[in-house]
């Protein structure tokens, strides 16, 4: 029987998925099993459990952590059929932008070392970074998929409230583009 807190498995799995996202954003890497073991009744609620498993799969993919579906099937053999359908749909719906792996703080991107993520939007991420080739000066980088032309529009803008762009750097291997401005 479910406890009062677990009486709505969908609500519980949604709250646990939010906690998982927060913890991954903070640099932790909790697995779905941790949440399922904390709330054992969810093992008997396949839809709620699959929500958590899928959330972890997406977070792993977003952070560039190995996302082999076979590993997921081995971890959750009782739901292999459902997971095959779910992850198959995920693969079909992926856009090229989703396949591009956004870097994370502490990674390098060309001549830049990413220090901290400042923000994230629909088109990419903004990072505080150091430019290693120029005495580790602080810069701001906006990293986006390389298929857009936003950088060309931004380069033409001149306004006192808009930081001017200094360069564009492509990372063809990851399908990313970084536009850079000096940090003030």
Q: Where are the domains of the chain?
A: 4-94, 108-182
Q: Sign of the CA dihedral 27, 52, 118, 108?
A: positive
Q: What was the pLDDT predicted at 183?
A: 61
How remote is the C-alpha of 61 from its chain's centroid?
7
- How does pLDDT run across 19-53, given as a tens digit for each residue? 998 998 888 999 999 999 999 999 999 999 999 99
- How does pLDDT run across 122-132, given as a tens digit for each residue? 678 889 999 88
Q: What was the pLDDT predicted at 40?
A: 94
161 vs 8, higher pLDDT: 8
Residue 76 has pLDDT above 50, yes or no: yes
- How does pLDDT run across 105-164, given as a tens digit for each residue? 888 888 899 999 888 776 788 899 998 888 888 888 888 888 777 777 677 766 666 667
**Which one of 3.65.10.10, 3.40.50.10160, 2.40.10.10, 3.30.200.20 gives the CATH number of domain 108-182?**
3.30.200.20
């Amino acid at each position: 029987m479910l406890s009062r807190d677990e009486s709505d498995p969908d609500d519980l799995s949604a709250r646990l998925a939010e906690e998982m996202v927060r913890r991954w954003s903070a640099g932790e890497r909790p697995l779905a099993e941790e949440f399922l073991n904390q709330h054992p009744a969810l093992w008997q609620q396949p839809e709620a459990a699959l929500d958590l498993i899928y959330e972890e799969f997406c977070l792993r993919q977003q952070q560039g952590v190995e996302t082999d579906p076979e590993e997921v099937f081995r971890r959750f053999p009782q739901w292999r059929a459902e997971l095959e359908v779910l992850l198959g749909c995920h693969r079909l719906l992926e856009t090229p932008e989703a396949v591009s792996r956004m870097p994370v703080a502490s990674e390098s991107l060309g001549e830049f070392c990413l220090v901290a993520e400042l923000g994230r939007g629909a088109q990419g991420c903004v990072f505080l970074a150091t430019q290693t080739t120029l005495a580790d000066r602080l810069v701001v980088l906006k990293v986006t998929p390389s298929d857009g032309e936003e950088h060309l529009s931004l380069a033409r803008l001149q306004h006192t409230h808009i930081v001017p762009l200094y360069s564009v750097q492509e990372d063809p291997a990851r399908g990313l583009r970084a536009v850079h401005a000096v940090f003030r």
